[in-house]
A = this chain, B = another copy of it.
């Protein structure tokens, strides 16, 4: 199936040289390889990659509306509905209508949701360590810092 497996590559190089040598293609390749592996990594937490992103945004950015949640997610508002439905059914999240503006429903993580998020943080960190076997911890931290600093506008 997929060759993004951390151990013993049987065939040949799992990444094309022509891709690795081109930053844009490399970044896109790594990004989608990660998305493909994410659900496997997070399986022990019971969360999907989407669930993980939503819980992370809810607890850290505390968006006022689902539209805002969707915008931070980079997706259409309908996506937020589906995602929150799932998380709510799993008891990881609560919808609370805003009394001062009853159009809005604020979404908040439950204690179970925050616990699942912490587990997912650990699982994704482990997965990332496996995905980047060519770097030690220090270099990996540098990589994340450069990435974060790079996209946030100066």
Contacts and interface: CB of A to CB of B under 8 A. Distances in A.
A52 B26 CA distance: 12
The secondary-structure label for the interface of chain A is: helix
Interface string A19-50: 11111111111111111101001000000010
- How many copies of this chain does the complex contain? 2
Contacts of A35: 28, 31-32
B61 A16 contact: yes
Contact of A152 (B5, B25, B33, B150): B5
Interface of A: 1-6, 8-9, 11, 13-36, 38, 41, 49, 52-53, 56-64, 68, 71-74, 121, 124-125, 127-128, 131-135, 139-140, 142-144, 146-154
